[in-house]
Amino acid sequence: MSERTSDLLTGLFIGGLIGAVLGVLFAPKSGKETREDLARKADELLVKTKEEYAKAVEKSKAAYEAALGRLKEFEASAEDQTLAAEEKLSEIARQGIESVETQKNRLKQAIDAGLEAYREESTK
């Protein structure tokens, strides 16, 4: 429960209590009637407090579920982006290997051609 909700419930409780006390002090009733009124007011206040608490719990639960949903969406998005990055890196690595192999083959062919030319020239 958030601090704001706690403050609301505390204010509601204190306000109800003050109202009940002032009502008793200024009411021209007998002691028995006053006690019955106090008991009834206390019960009403308790019911209101429970209702407000239930609402606060429900709001907190909804906020928690919403935050959890956003976190799951973020996790899925991050996972998708990670997989996409891994695929790109794999493709770049594959292209790099192919490029190195191509250059290696060209160099080998150039060296072989150079050696062949050298052999031909030296046998003349």
- Residue 30 is assigned to a structural domain of this protein: yes
- Residue 94 is assigned to a structural domain of this protein: no
Q: Which of 20-24, 39-43, 51-55 is predicted with the least confidence, judged by mean pLDDT?
A: 20-24
How many independent structural domains does the chain possess? 1
> pTM of the prediction?
0.46
- Residue 103 is assigned to a structural domain of this protein: no
**Host domain of residue 77:** 3-87
What tokens does 12 get? 């509601």
Q: What is the number of alpha carbons within 13 Å of residue 42 lying toward its C-beta? A: 8
- Residue 111 is assigned to a structural domain of this protein: no
- Residue 112 is assigned to a structural domain of this protein: no
Residues of the chain with pLDDT > 70, as a percent, come to 93
- Residue 122 is assigned to a structural domain of this protein: no
